[in-house]
Amino acid sequence: MHTRSAIAGVICLLALGGCSSDDDNGGAGPTATATVPPTRTNTPVPPPTATPTGDDRLDISICAPDAGPFSTVIDHPFFPLPVGAQWVFEGEDEEGVALHLEVTSFDETKTVAGVETRVIEERESEDGELVEVSRNYFVRAPDGTVCYYGEDVDIYEDGEIVSHDGAWLAGENGNLPGILMPAVPALGQIFQQEVAPGIAEDEAEIVATGETVEVPFGTFSDTIQFLETNPLDGGTSDKIYARNVGLILDDEFERVE
């Protein structure tokens, strides 16, 4: 999931406990203010939300097309994106370029590998210019795991689509659905998020729980931190999620009010 694009339009901001339902269509929100670097307080880390045992590498077969029935209601406590919900992020890159990202849950589904999935759009801009739009396809497994079934990607330059780099769909060319968010996140868990050989192979590990993190959207202590690794180019990304709020920090992107 490109949460760089991650991954336009009218802003419907989530309240801390979530503000949308499958009947909501979103609403206009206030303009985001300039962000400040997040503050992390090194408090003692409480016990993880589940106690891992043995091999902590999760089995992605929980997301296989025949492992349903699945739901298009994305309501995981650490990834709440009911229809109409939108997360808004701002940041600044190393060159000082202003970044803006919107993640929106559409009242739209797409069938991928025979499974009906929820469409989550990500729109990323740099200095006010659109650079990427991706349409991500998620479902909720019977145990609550959020499964990732692929994405369609449009890369923009000067207002024109120039490529679809990173696009993949489960069920095509040997691609498999991965785990975006475990049902019960626990410290030390490792899992494949994207399983598209040679195109998208991101893997995540939960490296911290219970850190206190401050972003413009608020201060949160019931958090989990992912370290995501891209084995294709060696790149890494840090993401922090808060319970009943969702993603609050994605590298240089901070959740805003």
23 lies in a domain? no
Q: What share of the chain is helix, strand, coil (3-state, %, to 5)?
A: 5, 50, 50
Which structural domain range is residue 73 located in?
A: 39-255
240 lies in a domain? yes
Q: Note the pLDDT of residue 1.
A: 64
What residues form DSSP beta bridges with 149? Answer: none
Q: Note the pLDDT of residue 116.
A: 98
User: What are the pLDDT digits (tens) for 135-163?
Assistant: 999 999 999 999 999 999 999 999 999 99
User: What are the pLDDT digits (tens) for 9-41?
Assistant: 333 333 333 433 344 333 333 333 333 344 444
16 lies in a domain? no
CB within 8 A of 60, min separation 6: which ones? 176, 177, 178, 179, 191, 192, 195
Q: Note the pLDDT of residue 34.
A: 38
Q: Note the pLDDT of residue 55.
A: 59
pTM of the model: 0.79
The whole-angstrom separation of Cα 86 and Cα 2 is 15
21 lies in a domain? no
Residues of the chain whose pLDDT is less than 50?
3-54
Q: Note the pLDDT of residue 138.
A: 98
- Based on its alpha-carbon atoms, the radius of gyration of the chain, rounded to whole angstroms, reads 17
- Burial per residue of 27-58, b for 16 or more beta-carbon CB atoms within 10 angstroms, e otherwise: eeeeebeebeeeeeeeeeeeebbeeeeeeeeb
31 lies in a domain? no
How many domains is the chain partitioned into structurally?
1
